[in-house]
């Protein structure tokens, strides 16, 4: 029904190619639904569309197909079918069959059906009955279809010429030209409105795409900044943890040197030495605590236990412990790569030191095996 309504809408706008397009879609849908009544209406619409576009053979084919459903048609639709068949026979020169179906049209025509009068006028014209033909074709001027009215005025102008009434012929010709111009202007206005609509839609689409690109760019920049911020924060925290460990070791060395200096001097301060020893003990406890935490995490890795919940501090303790446990391998990594993230160092421990396969590493880190390829490629990208 949507296709049928679209066909009627374009019929009112005189856009014949679209009338035919939607009439054909209406016919295809009706055949798929196996609805005979809708098929009959669709065939008539297709026939009229072909006729308006001067494709007579296709129009006749649709008319003949509609005869298979003639028993299902109401009086109005049946009258249109009879009129079309009569017009077809009249154009082919078969006046007998034209008169036969014209008679059927008169029996079924409604009060608003005037198309058959043009066929009747042509038959009367062929017999030389010009005055009767004029009276008949005048009746068709009441037809609401602008194309039928235009055709009627054309036939009427020719009939006036044949009767010698040139003034009436010229007047009818002027009316026809004026009517044609009005239809053309209406069509032109519709085309302009359609062009304007398409232009507005295109401009709106381009603006929407531009806004989407701008929004996408802003989101992309914000995402990159967020990622960089997270990376910087984690890296700064890792550096801070490493710095604290180094700072504790440095303080131990400095305090030990200060104790030796005080003991070798002439004046000794037992309280100062005791305070320095407390500081050394405190620093050693902090280092031992970090190395103990790192040892626990390394044991987890050896046991293949999941470490997805490992905190940043625990991860750094693991890395510090591993640097003490495998100094040669750690020096090799520092020589091979630019500084890596703690997560990347943990991956290297699992892959290069413990020599686990990807499935085992993915299970320990609680990630998908496919993500390991990304981590591996990023580490490779950090090679010096």
Say if residue 149's pLDDT is above 50: yes
> What percentage of residues in the chain have a pLDDT greater than 90?
1
Q: What angle do CA 77, 82, 86 make, to 5 degrees?
A: 150
Say if residue 264's pLDDT is above 50: yes
Q: How far apart are CA 356 and CA 5, in angstroms?
A: 70
Torsion of CA 142, 147, 151, 152, to 10 degrees: 0
pTM of the model: 0.39
H helices present in the chain, as ranges: 2-12, 16-33, 36-52, 56-66, 75-92, 95-108, 116-126, 130-139, 146-163, 166-264, 270-302, 312-325, 327-336, 342-348, 358-365, 369-380
Tens digit of pLDDT for each residue in 268-292? 566 666 665 566 555 555 566 677 7
CATH number at 2-192: 1.25.40.10
Q: How far apart are CA 384 and CA 378, in angstroms?
A: 13
Q: Are 134 and 152 in contact (CB under 8 A)?
A: no
How do the domains of the chain map onto residue ranges?
2-192
Say if residue 243's pLDDT is above 60: no
Which residues, at least 6 apart from 234, have a Cβ–Cβ distance to it below 8 Å?
Answer: 312, 341, 342
For the record, the structure tokens of 292 come out as 């103990």
Could you tell me which of 338, 295, 333 has the C-alpha nearest to residue 314?
Answer: 295
Tens digit of pLDDT for each residue in 160-195? 888 888 888 788 888 878 877 776 666 666 667 777
Q: Are 323 and 287 in contact (CB under 8 A)?
A: no
Q: How far apart are CA 194 and CA 260, in angstroms?
A: 97
The pLDDT, as a whole number, for residue 276 is 55
Of 20-34, 188-202, 243-257, the poorest mean pLDDT is in 243-257
Say if residue 343's pLDDT is above 60: yes
Q: How far apart are CA 167 and CA 134, in angstroms?
A: 15
The pLDDT, as a whole number, for residue 66 is 78
Tens digit of pLDDT for each residue in 346-377? 999 999 999 899 999 999 988 888 888 889 99
Q: How far apart are CA 193 and CA 173, in angstroms?
A: 30
- Calculate mean pLDDT across residues 216-232: 79
Say if residue 235's pLDDT is above 60: no
Residue 208: pLDDT band with limits 50, 70, 90: confident
Q: Measured in whole angstroms, how far is the alpha carbon of residue 216 from the centre of its chain?
A: 16
Say if residue 107's pLDDT is above 60: yes
Could you tell me which of 90, 193, 190, 187 has the C-alpha nearest to residue 147?
Answer: 187
Higher-scoring residue by pLDDT: 266, 148: 148
Q: How far apart are CA 179 and CA 354, in angstroms?
A: 94
- Calculate mean pLDDT across residues 207-211: 87
Instruction: Give DSSP secondary structure letters for 52-118.
Output: HTT-HHHHHHHHHHHGGGGGG--HHHHHHHHHHHHHHHHHHT-HHHHHHHHHHHHHH--TT--THHH
The pLDDT, as a whole number, for residue 241 is 44
> What's the mean pLDDT when you consider all of the chain?
77
Q: Are 364 and 350 in contact (CB under 8 A)?
A: yes
């Amino acid at each position: 029904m949507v296709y049928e309504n679209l066909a009627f809408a374009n019929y009112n706008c005189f856009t014949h190619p679209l009338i035919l397009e939607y009439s054909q879609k209406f016919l295809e849908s009706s055949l798929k639904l196996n609805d005979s009544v809708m098929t009959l209406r669709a065939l008539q619409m297709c026939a009229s569309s072909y006729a308006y576009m001067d494709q007579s053979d296709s129009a006749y084919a649709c008319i003949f197909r509609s005869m298979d459903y003639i028993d299902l048609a109401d009086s109005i639709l049946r009258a249109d079918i009879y009129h079309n068949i009569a017009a077809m026979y009249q154009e082919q020169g078969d006046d007998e069959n034209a008169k036969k179906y014209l008679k059927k049209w008169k029996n079924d025509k409604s009060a608003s059906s005037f198309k058959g009068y043009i066929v009747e006028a042509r038959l009367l014209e062929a017999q030389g009955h010009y005055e009767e033909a004029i009276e008949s074709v005048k009746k068709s001027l009441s037809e609401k279809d602008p194309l039928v009215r235009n055709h009627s005025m054309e036939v009427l102008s020719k009939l006036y010429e044949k009767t010698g009434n040139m003034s009436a012929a010229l007047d009818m010709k002027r009316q026809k030209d004026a009517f044609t111009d009005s239809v053309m202007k209406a069509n032109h206005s519709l085309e302009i409105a359609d062009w304007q609509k398409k232009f507005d839609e295109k401009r709106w689409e381009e603006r929407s795409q531009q806004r989407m690109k701008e929004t996408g760019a802003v989101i992309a920049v914000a995402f990159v900044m967020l990622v960089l911020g997270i990376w910087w924060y984690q890296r700064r925290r890792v550096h801070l943890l490493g710095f604290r460990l180094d700072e504790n070791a440095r303080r131990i060395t400095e305090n030990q040197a200060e104790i030796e200096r005080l003991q070798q001097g002439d004046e000794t301060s037992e309280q100062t030495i005791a305070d320095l020893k407390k500081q050394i003990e405190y620093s050693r406890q902090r280092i031992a605590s970090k190395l103990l935490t790192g040892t626990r995490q390394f044991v987890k890795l050896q046991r293949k236990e999941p470490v997805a919940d490992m905190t940043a501090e625990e991860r750094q303790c693991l890395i510090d412990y591993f640097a003490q446990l495998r100094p040669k391998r750690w020096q090799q990594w520092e020589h091979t790569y630019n500084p890596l993230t703690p997560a990347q160092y943990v991956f290297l421990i699992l892959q290069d030191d413990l020599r686990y396969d990807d499935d085992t590493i993915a299970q320990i880190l609680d990630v998908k095996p496919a993500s390991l390829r990304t981590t591996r490629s990023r580490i490779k990208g950090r090679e010096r």
